[in-house]
Amino acid sequence: MDASATYLQVGFILISVPNALVIVGMIVLLIAAVLAPFPGHHRVQDDDDQPD
């Protein structure tokens, strides 16, 4: 635990690998939450039940 972290440098951005992994994980969870359907919320396929 005394070893220093490995760093990534892209242009002027310098970030440690563990912090980069946390950020990537948070972005993946955000995308999954946005794309996941809400439970109990279903779309109706046909309009036969709709009154005119």
Query: What is the reported pLDDT for 36?
Result: 87
Q: How far is CA 35 from CA 24, 28, 44, in A?
A: 17, 11, 19
The whole-angstrom separation of Cα 32 and Cα 26 is: 10
What's the token pair of residue 13? Answer: 């951005």
Mapped onto helix, strand or coil, the DSSP state of residue 49 is coil
pLDDT on residue 38 = 77
pLDDT at 9: 93
Which pTM does this prediction carry? Answer: 0.64
Q: Rg for the chain (alpha carbons), in Å?
A: 22
Q: pLDDT tens digits for 1-52?
A: 678 889 999 999 999 999 999 999 999 999 999 998 877 766 666 666 666 5
